[in-house]
Every structure is written in structure tokens, then in C-alpha cells.
A and B are shown apart, each in its own frame.
Chain A
Amino acid sequence: MTYRPLALAAAFLLPALPAAAQGQLNLYCSATLEWCQPIARGFERESGIRVNLTQKSTGEMLAQIRSEARNPRGDVWWGGTGDPHVAAGEENLTQPHESARITELHDWAQAQWRQTQGRTVGVYASVLGFGFNTELIARRNLPAPRCWADLLNPAYRGEIQMANPNSSGTAYIIIATLVQMMGEEPAFDYLKQLHGSINAYPRSGTAPITAVARGETALSLSFVHNAAEEAAAGFPVGHAVPCEGTGYEIGSMSIIRGARNLPAAQQFYHWALSAPAQIIASQEAKKLQTMANRGVPLTDGAPNMATARIIDYDNARFGASAERRRLLGRWDREVGALPR
């Protein structure tokens, strides 16, 4: 029997590309489209390999990769918060890989790669912080928040939003960060106190900062780069990195188990860790995240991971699904179920 060429539906994707293409790559991208497209085109220019790009949020992408597990359609999964990447690794949906460039990366990126036995590597990091509406704060004579402790100020009552950790990975990182910084019991005490000041736990992780931008709430717990993006769009949004220290998410990259274009996937993996590939983010996509490659300069206005007090985030422990379920269960019982 002749061996049927591997890419099935993928063969139909993006038909009108140069005939000179040498092979193809199905790229699953979980960053924003503004970022995914330059990355895909950049790799095409570099390698001559045709890239079929599919962009979805991290959670949706994990759901898709899981559904396709018996007949994978994607080759590389690039971008998006690290926990779903780690979960995919746990479920054996991704495969380990080692690139020679691993030593060029920041420690946090290397650490994630080691902790996941090489299944996932960090490509960028985003720092957790506060976003606030500068106009609303001025109108109500509220101080701008600087530290985690400031948020318990009774003046903020009913003015803070945080996403629901049951649905949002961002909110889960907040809980995990507090547990690592304060210890589990004090962290939950803090969350219980904070509960009284929170006006809503929306389902989506970016909903709180959108609400801040449009003046619907004064404060949000969000990634700093999201706040900066709203400010860049013209909204009166300020941001702060908590003074006691904070956690971060690692935008990650994994090779999907059973990738049909494995050599192309490995070539992309190698390329995506290089400084020129990562400069695309700051130059073309104007992203404020910190890139994993040490050779990439920081974008203007981006928080500096070296100077901000960043905790040593334990991806192995807090990315594992059993620990996640335990913490979320505890949050549900002790915080979410409290009256407001």
C-alpha cells in the first residue's frame, strides 16, 4: 500500500502561496493575530516553508488539540499562557524537544523547559499587576494602588474586578502567586478580605481590564501588558507592578505529539527561540511582554522583569492539574461562596 501523504485537510489551507515553498507547517497560535501573523510570515521568509496559521485562545486551542489527539492536525503550538501548555504535556499531547538555543534563554524560560521534561519552552513572559482608570480614580479621590496591601483599603470597596479563577487562567495565576508569596493560609485570608471589595468576577481574563478602560470599574487585577495596550488604544488606563513582588505567566511553545511535519516543526521551534524572531514582537507587533531570548532588548514602557520584584514562580507545582483543582475548590468554598 502506498503511504498516504500526511497532511490531509491541511493540504487545502492557504492554497495561493509561492510555488517555491519547501514543505509546510501547521502553526497553532494562541497569541493575538497581530503577533501570530508576523511570526508566521517571518518564518516563511526565513525558511521558504509554507505556514498554515490557525489562531485561537489558549483554552480553545487546548480543547481542539485534545479533540484531535488521535489524528493531530497541528504541528507546533506557539504562544498563549503556559498552564494549558503544561496541561497538554501532562496529558501526553505534546512531545519533548531540545533546541541548541535553549542556553540563550532567560532562566525562567529554561526552568519551564526543564520542569516539563522538555515538552514546553517559554518564549515570552507577562507580569501580573494592577490596572486602574486614572480619570475615575481622580474623580473619586482614590489613591493609585501600589502594593497588594493597598487593595484592602476600604476606599476601594466595590471598585475592584478580578476574573473568576474557575474560568480564567489569569485569575488562577493571581491565586497561585499569592499562595507562593504569602503562604497558603494568609493568601486565602487576603482573598477573603479582598472579596468584599470586588464588584464582579467576570468569566474572561481580559474582561476586568476592558471594564477599567471603559470606566465601568476603577481597578482590576490584570497583566500589565493588557493595561498598557488599553492605554495605547487611547483609554485613561494606568498600571502598577505590586511593590511586594508579583507572579507572571510564561507564553510557551510546544511541539504537538504526532506532528505531521515534524522536521518543519523542529525548524520553527529553533527559529522561534532566536533573537531575530523574538524582536518581531516588539518591533512589528508592539508587544510589551519580556522575550525569552536574552539578546532581545526590552520594548519601551515594558515592565522590566529584572528590576520588578518577580517571585520564583513554581510552574511544576501550580501548573499540575491536581493542585489546580485543589486550590480552585478551596477558593470556591472559602471565597466564592461568601456573601458580598
Chain B
Amino acid sequence: MFFGTSFFFWLIAALGTLVLPWHMQQDGLTLAGLFALGRGEAEAASALSQAAQFGRFWFWPVIAGLLLALPGALPSGDRARRARFLVWGGGLGLAALMLQGLAVGIQGWNWPVLARMFGELEDRQFGIGLGGAMAFAGFLILLTDGLALRGYFKGDRFVSGAVGLLVASILVFTAWPVGTVLSEMFTPRADLTLGAAMAERLFDSKIWGLGCVTGRVNCGVFWNTLLLATCTATAATILGLCFALIVTRSGFRAKKLLRLLTVLPIITPPFVIGLGLILIFGRSGVFNQIAESVFGLELGRWIYGFNGVMLAQVFSFTPIAFLVLIGVVEGVSPAMEEASQTLRASQMRTFRAVTLPLMLPGLANAWLVVFVESLADFGNPIVLGGSFGVLSTEIFFAVVGAQQDFGRAAVLAAIMLVVALTAFVIQRSVVGKRSYVSMTGKGDVGLPTRLPPPVRRVAFAVAIPWAILTVVVYVMALAGAFVRVWGRDWTPTFSHFERAFALEWSPAGALIFSGGAWHSLFTTIQLAAIAAPITAGLGLLASWVLTRQRFAGRTALEFALMLTFAVPGTVIGVAYILTYNLPPLEITGTAVILVACFVFRNLPVGVRSGVAAMSQLDKSLDEAAVTLRASTFRTLRTVVLPLLKPAIVTALVYSFVRAMTTVSAVIFLVSAEYEMATVFIINRVINGDYGLAIAYCAVLIVLMMAAIGLINLLVGRRNLGRRAAALPTPAPVGGRA
């Protein structure tokens, strides 16, 4: 097969270097503009043309790398010799490509040291475009091919290419921007030296203070954040487990409804939950007014601060825990439980000694995901925090607030990273290296065991009131879309929808989208739909590489993949404009930066759900396929992927939904052409126009539910060959493809 050979990738690199325009074209790319050899204008020309015609000498090393790789890319010849050419050629191409991009910018030399060595450069260049991107991809694969030929990654080209792709994308879209923003930590402040400024920012009592233990003073934000995240993660994991157990292992009738209900909070822009809670539990809220009139109790402002933020976060993140756990609970093999019961263990003992331990990695994953989500959450603390500050809000206001101290924001971001990473390390050591495999290739038949009665009672007692409370919060919040002034004038009206989504017919008979919200809605759906499959694909590829392959630096890769998750959106947003507003990758104001932001911010969830699902799949399944001479790629496609359908659904749903509901990261990245729904909504909220904002949210919620149904339909369910006697007719959620 030609597509997939090293020579094919050499051709891609050659196309990018020799023929296609190297830089990004300001007015978009036309078909005629694709052939960029011998153009009259340097910026529209290919790298070869620029080097030969316009004296841009810095492209010669790139072209040299291309030529050097050619003998290795041709299929004939000695393996060791080919490997040498590929590694050196690909490596030189990559290094030259990146170095020239970083060294030469829009004002000539980017580094003063080069200007001192070579004198001022009279030329300049802008960000790379199609040609540069293709050359980068081509060189990367040539390099990984060479490494595989040398025997790394057990000589498997697919694995080495996958690792190369992951490492490169993490370096470009995570490590680089995060590094840029963290280096701001060292910006000196006017009146202080570098060291003193650092020390003052780092050992601030507002971060580490313990005043709340001894007196009525606020504790440092570090302790606030830690306490909040721990409580939220624990509560949300327990709730998520209850829901997951009820949905998969009980005869509860309204299962589907429960599934829907728990997904609701995840598809809601965060401030809606906060405002809904204020309407219920606030000082003038329904709950307090009842308490006051019936019992004469004045409850006051208890919702503001730790209590309220935690409540809102548990609302927001229980569905995430639920989404992670449902795949896990489904994946626990009934055969083991049946074995336990055959050995006369009681239901309760089976649950405690077999089911629960098998779910441990899933529980730890869910806990970690929620913990990190809580760390990075911005919407709930800002609405309900009152005087209670956490790291994410402190960072936001360090950047945009009255202090305008970027260094402080960088220090706080670094602390947040350390917390997230510590949690990650602890989780790994707890779950450890034990085996949780329960899905093997052997006949895996059995009915999922019913929950033991005590567990069932607890699960229902916890989950049902929570579900009811969720409904109430939503009804209260969404009512805002249908009344005149939310929380004040409850006269029903549709005027908010009219203002947002008005449609008109032009005299010519064409449809005009005259409502104010259409533009941002279309953009949002489009970008979310582009980002979701990329996130899911990359995430599952990463989880497969992480669980199935052993290579040096695997832990480092896993760690790097989780990194963006721990960085709050605001930091990512600022990091992205700091990094990508300048060549070599000049993508601010385009759709690319938004899609990249969505993909790399949501990648960790794809990875985590993939890892959780994958650690339940016995490796012998892959080995059987490989023994039957299937290629690695084919094994992945025909054996692993179908068994991962729940994880795929989770990753797709989560990334799509998150792309539609993120606020803090995109607020710096939107432009007039690419406006996101959430930013539009936040602007309405800041303006006090809750009606339109909530009407828009309601439309988004309906849309996302439709999208979730569609994704379920397209991916389908995994068929585990277990008897389906528990259900009279198989009725998968969302139907079957």
C-alpha cells in the first residue's frame, strides 16, 4: 500500500516545502495560490522559492533535511542505513523548521543575540501556513519512522508515529503556551529586584494564611481551594457512583430519565446553576422565605462562600463523575460476581469484595477528574463566592483586576499546577499497579448482579433527592427565559426568544436570521463539531498508547496530557494569545486557535475515560489479534475500538458539550468573526439581561441533548455478549445505529 509508506510522508514534506505557500495567506488560500513555486511575492511563495528567489537563507537547512531524508524514504536498501537517513533527515528538517520560525519574526531577528552575531536582518516573516504545517507533519513522521526502523517502540511504525504525533501536539499546544505564561513569573516589578518580587509573590499570606483556623479571618486561597476541591470531588464521586449503580444495576423504571437528568448540569453554562441556587437558597430565595414565615428562622446569607460554591460545584461535576463511572460499572464482569456468589458469598460481601475493588480505578479516575475540574472552575466561585476566594478567581483578577500583576497570576497558576499534579501522583500510587482486568476474550456471559439491598437503599436515598433538587434548580433557572424580569416580574413572555432567535423572510423569499444570537450560535456549533472528533480521536489514541505500550517517557507523556486540565481557562486563554499572536504560529483571531483550545483543554477527559475503559480490557485480546497477523492499526480498529464505545461516546459528548459551554478560556480568544455562544451569554449576564441569556442557554441545552442523542446513535453501543434478560426488550439510550 502506498499511503502509509515512508515515501508517502516524504512526498508530503516535499509538497509542503517545495510547492505549497509556506506562510499563512492573509486573504485565505485560493486554488491557484496553492502552486507557490516562483511567485512574485515572497510571502505567497513556497519555502524553496523564498530561499532561491528572495534570499531567505534560513530555509536552506529545511530543504537540506528534506534531501537528506530521501534515501531513507525510498523502500529499497539496508534497514540500518535507511533508519540513519530518516532520523537525521527528519530530525534536521524539524529542528530547522522550528528554529527558523522562532528566530526570524515580524521585526527581523527575534533574539538579540542573533542580531549581535549577524547584524540586523532587513527581512522579516509572518506565521507559517499550509506549506509549513504539512512540512512539519511530514518531517515528524519521517523521524518516527526512522526511530521505529532503528528498533525503538518494538519496531512498530504505527506506535512510534502515534507517540510522535502526541508528543508534538502536546509540545506545541500545551507545553509551549504554559511555559510562556509561567515564564512571566520572572518578570521583575518596578521597585523590586527579580528575586524579591518572586519571593513576595510566592510567600504571600493571602495564599498560605491560616487565619480561619484561629479567628474569623479568611484563610489563604491555597487552603480554600484545596478544601473545596477535596470536598467537591468526594461528594461528586459518591453521588456519581450512586447514579451509575442505579442506572446499570437496579430495576429502577425511570433510568433513562435519571441518565438525562445527570447529564443536564454538564450542558449548562455554569452561572445558571449559581443563579438558580441563589433564587432558591439566597437570602430572598424561596427556601429562606419559607423558613422565615413557617419557622421564624432567619437563615441569612449562608449560600455565599464555601457552602454555596461547593453545592454548585457538586451540581456541576456529579455528571462528569457519573459519565466516567457509568462505563466502569458496566464494564465489571458479572462472571466474577457470579463466581463469588457461587462460592456462597453474600450479596453484600460480593459487592464489597469483588464489585467495589474492580471499580477502584474508575472511582479514582472520577475523583481526580472532579478534583481538577473543581480547581479550575471559575463560574461558580465568581457567582457564589462572596468573600471566599479560590485560586482560579485570584488568577483571573490578578490578570484583569485592579492589580494587573501578571507575575502574581503566573505564581498562582504554578501553585495550581502543583496541586493538580500532586493529586495525580497520589491517585497513581493508590490505584497502583494491580490488575483490574475483567473483560477478557473468553466467553463472558452473565447477568449484572442486582445491588445488595442496603447498598440499593443508600443509593436511592442519596440519588433521588439530589435528582429532585436538580430538577427544581433547573426549573427555577430556566423559568428566567419565559418571564419578563427574572426573580422579580414573573409575567410569562416569549420576548427573550424573539430578540435572540428572530427569523424574517426577505421580500425575495429568502430566510434572514435577524435575531442577535444566530451568528454566535452557528459559529459555536461548527467549531464544537470540528473539535469533538479530534478530541475523542486524539484522546483515545493517547489512552491506548498509555495503557498498551511500554516506552521510555510514558509517565511523562501521561503527565503532560493531563496538564491543560489543571490549568484554569483564563491562564490558558492568556497563554494562547501570548504564544500564538506572533510568528511562527500566528493563529489568533482565527478558528484554529479556538479549536486547538477546545481540543487540548478537553483532551484529558478523553484520555481518562479511555484509560479507565482500557484498563478493564485484557491485553490477551490484542495479542490474539496480533498473533493472527493483524497489524497494530487493524487490531486497534477492529478489536479495541468496538469495545471502547462507551468511552468514545463519553469523549465525544464531553468534548462537544464543553466546547459549547467553556467561558474563561475562550473569552480572550474570540473575535468578531468567531464569537462563541458562551461569551455572548456572559456579556448579556454582565449587562443584567438574564432573560435573553437564559433563553439562549435553554436553546443550547436542547441543542446539546440532540447532539448527545445523535452521537449515541452514530457510535452505537458495545455488544458484550451478555444475556439481556434483565430487560424485556433491549432499549439502549438514544437508540441503535
Contacts and interface: CB of A to CB of B under 8 A. Distances in A.
19 contacts: A12-B589, A32-B687, A33-B683, A34-B687, A55-B683, A59-B404, A63-B404, A67-B577, A70-B581, A71-B106, A136-B284, A165-B402, A199-B301, A203-B382, A229-B688, A234-B484, A322-B191, A332-B206, A340-B216
A27 to B, nearest CB: 10
B673 interface: yes
A217 B397 CA distance: 23
B402 A171 contact: yes
A328 B206 CA distance: 13
B385 A203 contact: yes
B199 interface: no
Interface string A135-176: 010000000000000000000000000001111110110000
Contacts of A54: 671-672
Given A59-B399, A200-B387, A203-B397, A4 B126 contact: yes
A83 B393 contact: no
Interface stretch (B485-493, B628-636, B698-706): B485-493
Q: Counting chain A CB atoms within 10 Å of each CB, which of B387, B489, B577, B590 scores highest?
A: B387
B530 interface: no
Contacts of A164: 387, 389, 397
Number of chain B interface residues as a range: 35 or more
B296 interface: no
A73 B42 CA distance: 23
Contacts of A201: 386-387
Q: Counting chain B CB atoms within 10 Å of each CB, which of A12, A15, A136, A235 scores highest?
A: A12
A64 interface: yes
Interface in B554-578: 574, 577-578
Q: Counting chain B CB atoms within 10 Å of each CB, which of A33, A34, A206, A324 scores highest?
A: A33
A322 B192 CA distance: 11
B453 interface: no
Contacts of B43: 2, 4
Interface string A167-187: 111011000000000000000
A56 interface: yes
Contacts of A202: 385-387
Contacts, number: 177
Contacts of A19: none
B403 A234 contact: no
Given A5-B26, A164-B387, A201-B387, 15 more contacts: A9-B671, A13-B672, A53-B672, A63-B406, A68-B581, A71-B586, A73-B581, A73-B588, A87-B404, A166-B401, A167-B402, A172-B402, A230-B688, A325-B403, A337-B217
Interface in B671-688: 671-673, 683, 686-688
A317 interface: no
Contact of A63 (B28, B399, B586): B399
B400 interface: yes
A155 to B, nearest CB: 16
B304 interface: yes
A274 to B, nearest CB: 25
B404 A214 contact: no
Interface residues of A, number: 73
Contacts of A84: 404
| B interface, over-half SS | loop
A59 B577 CA distance: 15
Nearest to A37: B516
B255 interface: no
B41 A167 contact: no
A307 to B, nearest CB: 28
A22 interface: no
Q: Counting chain A CB atoms within 10 Å of each CB, which of B54, B123, B403 scores highest?
A: B403
Contact of A215 (B190, B283, B590, B686): B283
A214 B284 contact: yes
B104 to A, nearest CB: 13
A15 to B, nearest CB: 7
Interface string B16-44: 00000000001110000000000001110
B667 interface: yes
A285 to B, nearest CB: 11
Contacts of A165: 402
A21 interface: no
B574 to A, nearest CB: 6
B201 to A, nearest CB: 12
A234 B402 contact: no
Contacts of B649: none
A213 to B, nearest CB: 8
A203 B389 contact: yes
B668 A63 contact: yes
B672 A52 contact: yes
Interface of A: 1-2, 4-5, 7-15, 32-34, 52-57, 59-60, 62-64, 66-68, 70-71, 73, 83-84, 87, 136, 164-169, 171-172, 199-204, 206, 210, 213-217, 229-230, 233-235, 321-322, 324-325, 328, 332, 337-340
Contact of A166 (B27, B54, B216, B402): B402
A8 B485 contact: no
B697 interface: no
B401 A167 contact: yes
A24 to B, nearest CB: 11
Contacts of B41: 2
Contacts of B397: 59, 164, 166-168, 203
Contacts of B686: 32, 57, 206
A73 B589 contact: yes
Nearest to A87: B404
Contacts of A34: 687
Contact of A70 (B304, B404, B485, B582): B582
B655 to A, nearest CB: 25
A310 to B, nearest CB: 22
A73 B590 CA distance: 13
Contacts of B107: 70
Contacts of A59: 397, 399-402, 404
A75 to B, nearest CB: 13
Given A9-B588, A14-B672, A214-B284, A339 B216 contact: yes
A67 B578 contact: yes
Given A9-B589, A200-B304, A233 B485 contact: yes
B403 A214 contact: no
A71 B582 contact: yes
Contact of B282 (A11, A214, A235, A339): A214
Contacts of B42: 1-2
B736 to A, nearest CB: 42
Contacts of B389: 164, 203
A63 B574 contact: yes
A66 B581 CA distance: 11
Nearest to A83: B402
Nearest to A14: B672
B211 interface: yes
B278 interface: yes
